């Protein structure tokens, strides 16, 4: 069975149980599946538990590392900006997706709206406060890191 | 104590224990703290466990909902695109941050690189596969949803 079919099966389990949207994902390294997951936003009351995030967390937990260098992510739909960024942080090197952002919009999910918001920088009203206090924190982090490594 | 000072304290705990970067966050609703968290990428082997994601997950777990409508997110640094998108999915309405994206780049984190990657659409090599199979999944989801709601 293809990796994409396995991702579809993951998503199917989720939607039949009412756990969330039709999004499943599989992480593959050197031809081996090291993690998988599906959308559990409704089941877990967790807006971050998209299929890709679930699969990334599962793979990282399985290998005991926060790095997925050399891995491919298979996902039933083009990743939203949260999942795309999660893949970047994980060091994923290739993404294979099924449905497009427009297909996902057609079933009522806002990935296209959120991509526009992130690209325009006009996502959520923001203000800066106590930068000095936070820079002190950053300085302490730098000192601790220098001692440790 | 200000909400930002509480976010800084959260981050301090994390860096002193070697759990991850200097990023802490607090979620406030109607003047009350409903969730907080800090970066635990190293401790949890989880590249998605940024301070903001940790705080969002904690708040949602505490209130038993995936929606944080009406909430403000306080964070020690301008959110990376993953955390900004997580805030969008959660429905957070206001963000107060301490350090800037450039400050965060100065201590070695790639938020600025990843914002550029997301904005240019040139993040990770992508390819489309089995869109038809995934559209079938989307159709099943639509049918199930129509039956349930």
Question: What interface predicted TM-score (ipTM) does this complex get?
Answer: 0.97
Residue A34 backbone dihedrals phi, psi, to 5 degrees:
-110, -5
Token match 């989307």: residue?
B138
Contact A103 B131 (CB under 8 A): yes
- What is the number of CB-based contacts under 8 A between chain A and chain B? 261
pLDDT in tens, chain A (149 residues): 899 999 999 999 999 999 999 999 999 999 999 999 999 999 999 999 999 999 999 999 999 999 999 999 999 999 999 999 999 999 999 999 999 999 999 999 999 999 999 998 878 999 999 999 999 999 999 999 988 86
Q: Does B55 touch chain A (CB under 8 A)?
A: no
Cα–Cα distance for residue pair B116/B15, rounded to 1 Å = 27
Please list every residue in chain B whose beta carbon sits closer than 8 Å to the beta carbon of residue A74.
Answer: 129
The catalytic residues of A are 52
Q: Among B41, B23, B76, which residue's Cα sits nearest to residue A89?
A: B41
Distance of alpha carbon A35 from alpha carbon A115, whole angstroms = 26
B129/A contact by beta carbon, under 8 A: yes
A1 at B interface, C-beta within 8 A? no
User: Would the CA dihedral through B47, A132, A137, B12 be positive or negative?
Assistant: negative
What mean pLDDT comes out for the span B23-48? 98
What is d(CA A110, CA A102) in angstroms, rounded to the nearest whole number?
10
pLDDT mean across residues, chain B: 96
Q: Measuring CA to CA, which residue among A11, A70, A67, A63 is closest to residue A41?
A: A11
Instruction: State whether A138 and B103 contact (CB < 8 Å).
Output: yes
């Amino acid at each position: 069975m293809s990796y994409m079919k396995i991702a579809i099966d993951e998503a199917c389990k989720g939607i039949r149980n009412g756990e969330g949207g039709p999004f499943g994902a599989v992480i593959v390294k050197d031809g081996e599946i090291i993690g998988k997951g599906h959308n559990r936003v409704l089941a877990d009351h967790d807006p971050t538990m998209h299929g890709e995030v679930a699969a990334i967390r599962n793979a990282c937990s399985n290998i005991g590392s926060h790095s997925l260098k050399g891995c491919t992510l298979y996902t039933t739909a083009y990743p939203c900006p949260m999942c795309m960024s999660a893949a970047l942080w994980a060091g994923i090197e290739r993404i294979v997706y099924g449905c497009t952002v427009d297909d996902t919009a057609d079933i009522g999910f806002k990935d296209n709206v959120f991509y526009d918001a992130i690209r325009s920088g006009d996502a959520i009203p923001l203000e800066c406060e106590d930068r000095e206090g936070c820079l002190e924190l950053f300085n302490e982090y730098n000192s601790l890191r220098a001692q440790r490594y």
